[in-house]
């Protein structure tokens, strides 16, 4: 196994090389008039030619699991301008979005980078299979999204704590053959700060993101809808999603929190981002505080608040990935969001009744259950570094010291939920009889 510091060092080298190459590229663009064309394409009156197509000369992400997607993942050069509606093609998918631009990646004809059969995480499949990048000014993206309207068919959002079997649940939906499944897409993770349900600009941004991500397929068999598994650290966007898509279905999956923490800790040697976070937590806590993972939520009655770790320990990365989504789920229930919870233990021990209850809630026919149950026969993360063959080779047994335990219990108390170290059945959990 490669030591996680190696990808981080390569990332530093990539950062330097990319800036040098893009600096030289920008000089050429300035001299040959490409920069002028780029600026012209961003004007509202030039909508029809506002999609900037760029070819890929190189790419690098030092952590394919934990990192969000960015335009800087690629070294790019100019290819041309096209109509924004080009991104509606099946092989073009939304990769990243911010308040300035929407970034799409184009794969080869027939490629399905979002499928778990090909890649365990949609963003990783997009990154690896991308052949070209298409950048839309955000105004063009909003205009196109408005034309598309709300996604057709069912819309299912899966919230979760880390390491709880949520990828397995996503695969169950995908195995039916009747849903397009996006597992932790980068574009949804980009919405981490869009949590204030009263913010009109944020509402427009989130609505456009979902419309562009869950666009209808032009070819292939018809589907009943889209399933979006949300990264654990972005669960705080659920209240905003619910305010915009109240008819969508919202699920929450969890398992014994201590088991999830141990599982995540065992992966730290393989995840460069987690390794870097723990290194900063231990040796540079003042700097690490800037990188700590926070969850934000907004209720109907109050402004945005934070589920924070005010006291950092060497395991704060692990603790926040598990606890913060649980806190947000609790606040969702408090504010009337219909979001039933299910336990991984029930899914693993009684898959048919558990999936049956989930499908029933989502108004999905039980005739799809046999196909969905095939997900239990394979490793849902086989295509990633988190596959069973990797995670069972070497296990790190974390020992949570007194400071860690005290922090966990205090955070639970502050956020009004039972002590998760005792593995309580969370409020809102659908109980499944063992079979």
pLDDT at 68: 86
384: confidence class by pLDDT, cuts 50, 70, 90: low
pLDDT at 380: 60
pLDDT at 360: 97
Q: What is the pTM of this model?
A: 0.91
pLDDT tens for each residue of 240-257: 999 999 999 999 999 998
CA angle 401, 324, 274 (to 5 degrees): 65
pLDDT at 270: 77
69 vs 271 pLDDT, higher one: 69
pLDDT at 19: 97
Decide if pLDDT at 405 tops 90: no
CA angle 144, 147, 151 (to 5 degrees): 95
Decide if pLDDT at 207 tops 50: yes
pLDDT at 369: 97
65: confidence class by pLDDT, cuts 50, 70, 90: confident
The answer to whether the beta carbons of residues 54 and 78 sit under 8 Å apart is yes
35: confidence class by pLDDT, cuts 50, 70, 90: very high
389: confidence class by pLDDT, cuts 50, 70, 90: low
pLDDT at 290: 46
Average pLDDT over residues 367-393: 73
274: confidence class by pLDDT, cuts 50, 70, 90: confident
What topology does CATH give the domain 149-422?
Rossmann fold (3.40.50)
pLDDT at 258: 85
Left, alpha or beta for 159 (phi > 0: left; psi -120 to 50: alpha)? beta
Decide if pLDDT at 136 tops 50: yes
Mean pLDDT score across all residues of the chain:
87
297: confidence class by pLDDT, cuts 50, 70, 90: very low
Provide the percentage of residues in the chain whose pLDDT is more than 90. Answer: 60
- Considering only 112-126, 163-177, 348-362, which range has the smallest mean pLDDT? 112-126
């Amino acid at each position: 196994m490669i030591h996680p510091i190696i990808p981080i060092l390569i990332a530093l080298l990539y950062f330097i090389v990319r800036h040098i190459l893009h600096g030289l590229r920008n000089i050429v663009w300035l001299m040959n008039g490409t920069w002028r064309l780029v600026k012209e394409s961003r004007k509202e009156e030039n909508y029809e030619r506002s999609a900037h197509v760029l070819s890929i000369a190189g790419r690098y992400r030092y952590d394919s699991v934990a990192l969000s997607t960015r335009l800087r993942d690629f070294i790019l050069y100019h290819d041309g301008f096209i109509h924004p509606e080009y991104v509606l093609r099946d092989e073009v998918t939304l990769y990243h979005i911010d308040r300035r631009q929407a970034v799409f990646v184009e794969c080869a004809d027939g490629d399905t980078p979002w499928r778990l059969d090909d890649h365990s995480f949609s963003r990783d499949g997009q990154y690896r299979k991308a052949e070209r990048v298409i950048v839309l000014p955000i105004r063009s993206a909003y205009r196109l999204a408005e034309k598309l309207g709300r996604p057709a068919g069912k819309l299912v959002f899966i919230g979760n704590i880390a390491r709880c079997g949520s990828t397995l649940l996503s695969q169950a939906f995908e195995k039916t053959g009747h849903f397009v499944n996006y597992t932790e897409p980068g574009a949804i993770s980009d919405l981490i700060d869009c949590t204030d349900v009263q913010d009109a600009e944020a509402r427009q941004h989130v609505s456009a993101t979902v419309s562009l991500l869950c666009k209808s397929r032009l070819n292939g068999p018809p589907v009943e809808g889209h399933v979006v598994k949300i990264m654990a650290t972005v669960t705080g966007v659920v209240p905003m999603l619910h305010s915009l898509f109240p008819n969508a279905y919202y699920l929450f999956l969890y398992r014994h929190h201590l088991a999830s923490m141990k599982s995540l800790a065992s992966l730290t040697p393989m995840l460069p981002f987690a390794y870097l976070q723990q290194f900063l937590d231990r040796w540079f806590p003042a700097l690490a505080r800037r990188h700590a993972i926070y969850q934000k939520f907004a209720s109907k009655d109050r402004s945005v608040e934070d589920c924070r770790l005010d006291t950092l320990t060497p395991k704060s990365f692990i603790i926040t990935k598990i606890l913060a989504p649980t806190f947000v789920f609790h606040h969702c229930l408090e504010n009337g969001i219909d979001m039933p919870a299910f336990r991984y233990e029930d899914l693993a021990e009684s898959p048919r009744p558990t999936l049956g209850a989930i499908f029933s809630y989502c108004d999905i026919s039980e005739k799809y259950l046999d196909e969905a149950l095939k997900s239990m026969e394979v490793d849902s993360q086989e295509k990633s570094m988190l596959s069973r063959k990797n995670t069972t080779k070497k296990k790190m047994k974390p020992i949570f010291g007194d400071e860690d335990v005290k922090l966990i219990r205090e955070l639970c108390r502050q956020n009004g939920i039972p002590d998760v170290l005792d593995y309580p059945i969370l409020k809102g959990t659908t109980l499944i009889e063992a079979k």
